[in-house]
Amino acid sequence: MVTTRASITLNGKAPKAITAAASANAAGLSAAERNKRLANRMQDALASNKAAYKRLKHETTLFRQGEVSAEALQQQFALAFQSQAPSLFLELAELLPSPQQRAQLLSAASRAGWALPNEVAVDGVPRELDQENTTSWQPLDRSRLQAAASALAEKQVDTVSAASAAEKKQSGMPSTSGTGLDLPPGVLDGEPRPAKRSRRERRADDSSEGAVVGSNGVLYWIRQDYRLHDNPALCAAAAAAKRSGGKLTLVYVSSLDEDGDDPETGTSWRPGGACLVWIEAALASLDADLVARYGPGAKIVFRRGPYLSEVSAVAAAVGAGAVYCNRRYEPAMTATDARVEKGLQEQGLEVKSYPGLLMREPQEVRIDMTGRWVGHFGTLSPFMRACERLPALPKPLPPPGSLPVADRTPAVPGSLPSAAALGMVYFNGAAVSAGHPVQLPIRADGTVVDWGQQLRDAWNISEAAALTCMEKFLSEGLATYEASRHLADARAVSLLSAYVHHGQLSVRLLMHETVARGGRDLSKTFSRRLIWRDLAYWQLYHWPDMACRPMRTHYSAQEWNEDPHVLKAWQRGRTGFPLVDAGMRQLWRTGWMQQSMRMVCAAFLTEYLNINWVHGERWFHDTLVDGDLAINSMMWQNAGKSGLDQWNFTLLPTSTSQDPDGAYISRWVPELARLPRKYLHQPWLAPPEVLGSSGVKFGAGPGCYPHRITTAVPQELRRENAQKIAQARAKAPEWIDAGGYDMVVVPKGATLKQDGTKMRVFTKSDYRKLLSAA
């Protein structure tokens, strides 16, 4: 039988066409076919009602607690009463041989809690006159329903089983024992199992828009995995839907407030503005790829949060009994995901998650600091050794050859047509929350200032571009990476960081291809950087507040420069130091800069301007298209010297090594483009006549390049910063060991044998000397 959700209304009344269709379907069926269909439908009905009831119970509890509105609760009840359970029982009834048996089954269903159409007779009495069933939605009495069904099975031994045996004998099939309905094991006891349906039945179900039988459908919940290749959750979801004979539905829910805190006040930050621009474009690209490859039924269902109510609503609407997703690892996200998973399970939904973003799960890596010394605690070498003890990485998965989606675009009430309609994007620091779009700034000439457009113009934000970029780097760029990776113009780097962060490129695929092509022989550094990424997530797992609180806790006492004008000059690329300004302007225009340039800009802010590293991290978090909370936090902690691996190198803001020919500065600081190369990195050294002939003017006016924000000698500024750190360390001698090294407490689960102890971490020799001198 083919029944759309529109066939069953909120008040429980169904058109008589339903029973007519059921009778037509039942006509001419053999007893064996009738038994098989009855078993399938019984299983679907049991699973569907159980999930629907649990969802309603949970939503009612939330309503009583004031967490959902009356309108939202009403919508959930409407979806539940529009479920397939009533129509399934009507079909079950028509499949039974006698009117008495049909009436008994309908009566059992009614007493078990199903809302049946009013015109259906129960035990021979029209439903509208049955006073016993005038109560509202009742709890499912599963045992009573099973007992009734079993009783029916016994009564049919003489009628149905005999007819079935006769048909089997006639067709040459072996006869079975007198089991009544010939139900597969497990249908009437324990949890129902998916039963195979004929190809004809599946085609019939597929032909109706929005028609879902039972709760054997599967949801794939998209989160930071905007790709088809090497997507374990998508592959598993597709396989599960194929096994159950259900349909796969893909859903994306935007709920920024649940993804993290405000960077100004919280410890685990939601995605920044540049990342949201990228996510919106990545979703649009993925949506188009899915439809082009698998058909209109693979179109993403877009929803605005909260997560629990929206995922639950979509599951109810499409008849899904399971939710599949890849894991997220930022603290606020893991807490949210655990809460949502629990809520979905309480509603009867199965939830399965898979590792798809990292190579190693953070909780699986336990460092051994008792054996041969290979490096300080929290640095890369001990982490790599711990990873080597783990099983080999699984091979990356190909894109699914097919997805068991419906033939038509999913029709789920309350959904949005596209990723852009979600309203996620930030513009100039103003957040666009769900349902509250922000008016974009307008220039005096009436043109709109769309900060996000320059980011979209700078990148091809698609899975295809990610794979092309990887191929180009591995075949052409990797050979020169080791020698040229420090150059600011990015001629030798991969440009893959944003694709990897957002899950458009699998890091497992990238590592697999790097090793397969001999990449470790060409460059030791590149593959180590991929492991370094996992190290950052390991640190974030064990220090969940590392985005804003020093991992060396005694560094909290350090005194910083709090001048907001200095910070703003750095943010906007107006410090008067061309290399730093070029990097910060590139960041603003494209959402990205090469790693050595990030380090130059970070060191300038912390070591030379003595501004708290947290301010720099916040700016990078909001403006980087690869704004990764774990990597960003680890880098800025180390730049500020409070991380586990203090930077032990000097990065001068006047260095020429990153831009030896000055082309990078000339591109991003056009005010200096005509200046001779030898003055580009320090234009204040150029004679007046050279400045004049080059059209360079210092100042704050249009076309002018700013004066230096500080005229102090860089080395002296670094010494002053080191003194500030020494003063903070001197206040906490209990965190300094006999050799002058800082110590941290090893978090639970971080090591094999030393959890909870104080552990020495790398400390610069300059800081150890300053402490001993004091």
pLDDT top residue among 156 and 220:
220
Confidence check: pLDDT of 705 > 90? yes
pLDDT given at position 189: 31
Answer yes or no: do 264 and 343 share one domain: yes
- φ, ψ for residue 353 (rounded to 5)? -120, 155
Answer yes or no: do 35 and 91 share one domain: yes
Is 357 within the bounds of a domain?
yes
Answer yes or no: do 252 and 150 share one domain: no
Is 334 within the bounds of a domain?
yes
Query: 234 near 247, Cβ under 8 Å?
Result: no
Answer yes or no: do 240 and 164 share one domain: no
What is the extent of the structural domain holding 249?
Answer: 209-422
Number of separate domains in the chain: 3
Answer yes or no: do 132 and 227 share one domain: no
Both structure tokens of 213: 């039988």
pLDDT, one tens digit per residue, over 593-644 is: 999 999 999 999 999 999 999 999 999 999 999 999 999 999 999 999 999 9
Helix (H, G, I), strand (E, B) or coil at 49: helix
Which range is least confidently modeled, 124-133, 242-251, 288-297? 124-133
pLDDT, one tens digit per residue, over 260-287 is: 999 988 899 999 999 999 999 999 999 9
Confidence check: pLDDT of 152 > 70? no
Query: 224 near 273, Cβ under 8 Å?
Result: no
Is 645 within the bounds of a domain?
yes
Query: 520 near 527, Cβ under 8 Å?
Result: yes
Q: Decide which of 127, 153, 174 is a domain's last residue.
A: 174
163 CB-side CA count, 13 A: 12
pLDDT given at position 452: 86
Residue type, 463: E
Answer yes or no: do 151 and 234 share one domain: no
Average pLDDT, the chain: 80
Rounded to an integer, what distance in angstroms lies between the CA atom of residue 242 and that of residue 246?
6
Rounded to an integer, what distance in angstroms lies between the CA atom of residue 772 and that of residue 739?
9
pLDDT, one tens digit per residue, over 505-562 is: 999 999 999 999 998 889 989 999 999 999 999 999 999 999 999 999 999 999 999 9
Is 158 within the bounds of a domain?
yes
122's enclosing H/E stretch is: strand 121-122
Answer yes or no: do 160 and 296 share one domain: no
pLDDT given at position 479: 92
What percent of the chain is predicted at pLDDT more than 90?
64
Query: 575 near 569, Cβ under 8 Å?
Result: yes
Minimal CA–CA distance to 603: which of 593, 616, 587? 616
Both structure tokens of 584: 């910060």
Is 486 within the bounds of a domain?
no
pTM score, whole prediction = 0.73
Answer yes or no: do 239 and 314 share one domain: yes
Q: Decide which of 371, 389, 422 is a domain's last residue.
A: 422
Residue type, 215: S
> Long-range contact list for 476-485, CB < 8 A, 24+ apart?
478/514, 478/517, 478/519, 478/522, 478/523, 478/526, 479/522, 481/522, 481/523, 481/525, 481/526, 482/522, 482/523, 482/524, 482/525, 482/526, 485/525, 485/595, 485/596
Is 747 within the bounds of a domain?
no
pLDDT given at position 140: 37
CATH number at residue 688: 1.10.579.10
Q: How far is CA 169 from the centre of its chain?
A: 56
CATH number at residue 415: 3.40.50.620
pLDDT, one tens digit per residue, over 200-238 is: 343 333 333 333 335 799 999 999 999 999 999 999 999
DSSP string, 178-247: --TT-PPTTSSSSS-------HHHHHHHHTSTT---TT-EEEEE-SS---STT-HHHHHHHHHHHHHT--
pLDDT, one tens digit per residue, over 120-147 is: 444 333 333 333 332 333 333 444 444 4
**Contacting residues for 234 by C-beta, under 8 A, at least 6 apart:** 220, 225, 228, 324, 400
Counting beta carbons within 10 angstroms of the beta carbon of residue 747, is it exposed (0 to 12), middle (13 to 18) or buried (19 or more)?
Answer: middle
Q: Decide which of 373, 397, 422 is a domain's last residue.
A: 422
Answer yes or no: do 164 and 213 share one domain: no
Counting beta carbons within 10 angstroms of the beta carbon of residue 732, is it exposed (0 to 12), middle (13 to 18) or buried (19 or more)?
Answer: middle
Torsion of CA 657, 663, 667, 669, to 10 degrees: 50
Both structure tokens of 574: 């107006």
Counting beta carbons within 10 angstroms of the beta carbon of residue 393, is it exposed (0 to 12), middle (13 to 18) or buried (19 or more)?
Answer: middle
pLDDT given at position 425: 81
pLDDT given at position 96: 55
Answer yes or no: do 163 and 226 share one domain: no
